[in-house]
Amino acid sequence: MDRAPRARRHPGPRTLAWVVLATIATGSAGTLAGQGPGAVWKDCVFNDVLIGCVDQQLPDGIRLVWKDGLAMTYRQTAPGQPGAPVDLRDQLGALWRRQVLAQGNTVLTNLASGARIVVPLRFPCPAPLKGEVGYCRP
């Protein structure tokens, strides 16, 4: 008896949170195509769990690629006003509210579940080595 292959569905926010926790606990993170061991990740947060991500700003939204290999694109539902929160829809149809904070960090909040994603403006800054002056080193 032949079965038609089932379409693969992206996990919801709760499943994603468990995937993130399991990845952190086991120390095994998937490698993205084109990302080598020297890849730089921002210190993003998904529901209070720190996980690396890279953001790509799009004309009508944002795309997030997570260190564990998952990716999601969020598109504006309507044109926004400068300085005002903007509603985005992800690839699964969920609505998210994007807020850009004064220091440039982006916060995405799922309007149905309350899940939160925080994407910092800047990449992490390595601490100075002994004898160096300043906070960041090149």
Is residue 96 one of the residues assigned to a domain?
yes
Q: Is residue 111 part of a domain?
A: yes
88 inside domain: yes
Q: How many domains does the chain have?
A: 1
CA 41 to chain centroid: 10
- Quick check: is 135 in a domain? no
> Using CA atoms in the order 65, 99, 14, 6, what is the torsion angle rounded to 10 degrees?
-50
53 lies in a domain?
A: yes
The predicted model gives 23-52 an average pLDDT of 63
Q: Would 103 be classed as within a structural domain?
A: yes
Which residues span the domain enclosing 81?
Answer: 41-119
- Can you give the pLDDT at residue 79? 85
Residue-wise pLDDT for 52-109, tens only, equals: 999 999 999 999 999 999 999 999 998 878 778 899 999 999 999 999 998 899 999 9
**pTM attached to this predicted model:** 0.65
